[in-house]
Amino acid sequence: METYTAMRHFADSWGLLAMTLSFLGVVFFIFRPGAKKAAAQASVIPLKED
């Protein structure tokens, strides 16, 4: 049971911090300047003829 308790405390503290930083990184990546052009290009990939 000691391993479970240690892992739970780790997840409650550092795990939460890691997930928050990952979320903020993704949000920044999506809303960065220049992302609109890349998203527009990616959105038409399935419609392109080979």
Residue labelled with tokens 């049971």 = 1
Cα of 6 vs its chain's centroid, Å = 26
Can you tell me the mean pLDDT for 28-35?
Answer: 89
Report how far residue 42's alpha carbon sits from residue 47's, in angstroms, rounded to the nearest whole number: 10
Q: What is the pTM of this model?
A: 0.60
Please report the sign of the dihedral spanned by the C-alpha atoms of residue 38, residue 43, residue 48, residue 50. positive
**Residue owning tokens 């503290």:** 13
Indicate whether 23 pLDDT > 90. yes
Predicted local confidence at residue 26, as pLDDT: 94
**The pLDDT value given to residue 22:** 97
Report H helices in the chain. Answer: 2-10, 16-30, 35-43
Residue 38's pLDDT is 87
